[in-house]
A and B are shown apart, each in its own frame.
Chain A
Amino acid sequence: MSSRPGFVMEVDRSTPPTLFWHGEGWKLEKLPNGSRIIYPKEPMEALRDPDQAIQDALDNPLGESEPLDALLRPGMKLTIAFDDISLPLPPMQKPDIRQRVIEAVLTRAANAGVDDVVLIAALALHRRMSEAELRHALGNRVYDSFAPHGLLKQHDAEDPDGLTYLGTTDKGEEVEISKRACESDLIVYVNINLVAMDGGHKSVATGLASYRSLRHHHNVATMRASKSFMDQHHSELHSANWRMGRYIKQQGIKIFQIETTLNTNTFPSQFRFLQKREWEWDIRDRATFIATSKVMGKTPPKINRSVFQSILSPHAMSSVQAGEVEAVHERTTEHVYAQQLVPVSGQSDILTLGLPYISPYNVNSVLNPILVACLGLGYFFNLYRGKPLVRQGGVLILSHPTTWEFNPVHHPSYIDFFDQVLSETTDPEIIQSKYEESFARDPWYIHLYRTGNAYHGVHPFYMWYWCAHALEHLGKVIIVGGDPKAVSRLGFSPATTLMDALEMAKDVVGPNPSLTHFHVPPLAIADVS
């Protein structure tokens, strides 16, 4: 069955209320008549035999690359780097794509007699993964073969002995990446491309880099020049990564890139209504909605969170391609766009978004207020190609509980960022110039990043920079149902109901505003003309 394309629908009197994600939960909201709702395309058909597809991709590389087998020889140093816990979202049902690909690569490496193999989780400044998370991503076979011998590593961007400084690009950007990667005869990068931002040269140039290198593109100016960072050709973030990636290639470092895409079959069948259009909800969908809404209102938030965090997504591999980085990524992007692009004509005064419980940075954790901002203004706002869905000076209305809550193990520097930085200013430029350095160099955060499971001290800054483009573009941000204190700290306005929020928005955009609701997730990219 072919999947129906995404589309834009105009709300009229007989349109049923629309689903809004609301953290660990959801709400139905009746949007004003004449509002537009953007529905994503339905999940595309998955590959029938993903394992065979992987083999085919390894044998038939794209771009100027030999097949994997030809690149493997006895005595070589092989490094397999793979995407970390931030992908895919939610974590996928077993077997994880990384397991499939890495097992295929390892089988070939074994056949070719390669002994020196190291696996590296390319987590850049993200938190280290737990054993359970690694086992889930790689499977027990791979884990048990490498972890006990210390050959399953997690990238350490603060290890003075583990990094190699390669030099600078023609724009003066310093390139410093994992020493093991630099010394390898071949890096095989195993990627999962959930959104168009992922992959390409970003995999190695970001995933295996250090703060010294990352700050050249993870900054306010770059993010403001990335419109959007989901559109590689209009993204300064990508331009910088591409310069770095090409520089790395010039240094003779060989990368065999394997990229995979997923369809948007995001939620398991018990939550299938989340990816159905409301007027197609059958009695089971409605019953599930009512039952879950009622139950979640009664159970403690902690239990709700653990239930949600245990959701494993059924999304399936829709393509796999391997070979030279740029050629591979071009094909990958085509597949992502084929699944996610929805044509939309024109901007509107107000954009509404329901934010779910998960973002790339809180798998098995808490979506703290900074991550709420990043998910709304960083990720969802940027899910566009062409122009933002909301006009310059328009209003973004988010729906999320935004509780004042942090995971102290995963996000220690976020707590201090929230208390010490955002309490003083929310201006990304001031934040960058005044506070970034001291957080980035804080020995305690470095200690927790290297030895615990903490995001790097500078990571909350990056979250805020991710919002920089939206903050510059928008006239106002309102969070419906959010904790007023936390929302105010973010510099946004709290509202109790959507209707209140719309009234507040009118003060900014004038009466009779046009409104667009972006019905995500499942993910989509608005192709705005």
Chain B
Amino acid sequence: MESSKKNFQKAVVGATKLKLKSEYRHAKSALRPSFPYGKPTLPGVIEPPKKQNKLGVDYNTDWARKPAMKFARRVVLESLARPVIHLIASPTILGDEIFQSLKGPFIFTANHASHLDTGLLLTCLPENIRSRCVAAAAADYFFDTPMKAFFAASVLNAVPMERLKVNRRSALMAAELIEEGWNLIIFPEGGRTPDGWGQPFKGGAAYLAIRTGAPIIPVHLHGTRQLLGKGARRLVTGTTKVTFGKPITPFEKEDARKLAERVQDAVACLADEAATTFWEAKKRNASKSTPLLEGHLDKGWRKSFESYNLPSPSRPSRPSWPPK
């Protein structure tokens, strides 16, 4: 008796829910153009399909590498992005002569301080390389909404990459791209620096290098934090320095962690070079006294505070127009 009453109540509640659901869907549709001109409403009894998560790591960026898109991006990059970035960041490029003798594809690993980094690095690469570059971008940041994903894929030619762990799918995709001859830009820190100091390099780039055999080119980007750091509200112009290091290829049976350390080391050396001179940096490197990217302090305000003592190539300045 009791149970049948309960069942009845349950049924009533269920029916009411269905009814409400259908009413809600109906009301929602009242403002839209009617089917078939507008989207069909869902019958109350039909469970809405689980949205297939096509964003994030699973976002398919193949379309962005079709010839038409490549061409369009090239036009944008060459005629718009490069001049603008040169205007904002006035980069000084060091070590780019390595590209004259080497053949890609490469994995570019750089420190990461600003959204300008990818663009800056791209514009500083030789033409034949920058036109065949994909950028590994944080799946959770750049590919979380369709608009952002579209922008990242089309303009930056970004591919989604898991920040924290090596995701099988994204790694596989990146590896495939490299094997197809695409150069990959990757920021092993997994995100922009919050305080100016570096963060430990993750193993993704190293793993890809081991898997594909492509050489890693360590890159140091200097000064972008001052132009548009993490959390910055506005963009300022200034000067930057882009330093390319010598290609690093994995040793026999070297594991990804070790390789990642070597890469981090190389970038630290480049940072040193950017701050001082090539020779001084080399010497400090030889004596294993290159300043660590992460700095010496663990965390807290003092670390951030101290980052201001890092050598800076220039002070932010007002943009001058026309450019000199």
Contacts and interface: CB of A to CB of B under 8 A. Distances in A.
A–B in direct contact per CB < 8 Å: yes
A13 B23 contact: yes
Interface stretch (A4-12, A110-118, A213-221): A4-12
Contact of A286 (B19, B22, B35, B46): B35
A290 interface: yes
B42 interface: yes
B26 to A, nearest CB: 4
B200 to A, nearest CB: 43
Contacts of B21: 14
Nearest to A290: B36
Range, interface on chain B: 20 to 34
Interface in A257-310: 278-281, 283, 286, 289-290
Contact of A10 (B39, B42, B45): B45
Given A9-B43, A279-B43, A14 B25 contact: yes
Contacts of A283: 39
Interface string B9-28: 00000000011011111100
A17 interface: yes
Interface in B18-54: 18-19, 21-26, 29, 35-37, 39-46
A283 B26 CA distance: 19
A14 B36 contact: no
A28 interface: yes
A63 interface: no
Given A9-B43, A9-B45, A17 B26 contact: no
B19 to A, nearest CB: 7
Contacts of B39: 283, 286
B36 A28 contact: yes
B37 A14 contact: no
Contacts of A281: 35-36, 40
A425 interface: no
B46 A17 contact: no
Interface string A1-45: 000000001111111110000000000100000000000000000
A144 B3 CA distance: 74
A11 B36 contact: no
Contact of B22 (A14, A17, A28, A290): A14
A29 B18 CA distance: 22
B35 A14 contact: no
Nearest to A282: B39
Contact of A279 (B19, B24, B40): B40
Contacts of B24: 14
B42 A14 contact: yes
Contacts of A11: 43
Interface in A383-413: none
A160 B129 CA distance: 83
Q: Is the interface of B mostly helix, strand, loop or mixed?
A: loop
Nearest to B41: A14
Contacts of B35: 16-17, 28, 278, 281, 286
Contact of B29 (A9, A14, A28, A286): A14
B262 to A, nearest CB: 46
A15 B36 CA distance: 12
Nearest to A286: B36
Nearest to B24: A14
Contact of A278 (B19, B23, B40, B45): B40
A12 B44 contact: yes
Most chain A CB within a 10 A radius of its CB, from B25, B43, B46: B43
Contact of B23 (A10, A14, A17, A286): A14
Nearest to B49: A280
A460 B21 CA distance: 50
A490 B33 CA distance: 40
A12 B41 CA distance: 11
B46 A9 contact: yes
Contacts of B40: 16, 278-281, 286
A488 B29 CA distance: 40
Contacts of B42: 14, 279
Given A13-B22, A13-B26, A14-B26, A279 B37 contact: no
Contacts of B41: 14-16, 279
Contact of A12 (B29, B37, B43): B43
Contacts of A16: 35, 40-41, 43
Nearest to A11: B43
Contacts of B29: 14
Contacts of A9: 43, 45-46
B35 to A, nearest CB: 4
Contacts of B22: 12-15
Contacts of B45: 9-10, 12
A290 B44 contact: no
Nearest to A285: B36
A290 B26 CA distance: 22
B37 A15 contact: no
Contacts of B44: 12-15
A286 B26 contact: no
Contacts of B23: 13-14
A131 B18 CA distance: 57
A15 B25 CA distance: 9
Contacts of A15: 22, 41, 43-44
18 contacts: A9-B43, A10-B43, A10-B45, A11-B43, A12-B19, A13-B22, A14-B26, A14-B29, A14-B41, A14-B44, A15-B22, A16-B35, A278-B40, A279-B43, A281-B35, A281-B36, A286-B37, A286-B39
Q: Which 8 A-B pairs have the closest CB atoms?
A: A14-B25, A16-B40, A15-B43, A12-B22, A13-B26, A14-B26, A286-B36, A14-B41
Interface of B: 18-19, 21-26, 29, 35-37, 39-46
Interface of A: 9-17, 28, 278-281, 283, 286, 289-290
Given A13-B26, A289-B36, 14 more contacts: A9-B46, A11-B43, A12-B44, A13-B44, A14-B21, A14-B29, A15-B43, A16-B35, A17-B36, A279-B40, A279-B41, A279-B42, A279-B46, A286-B35
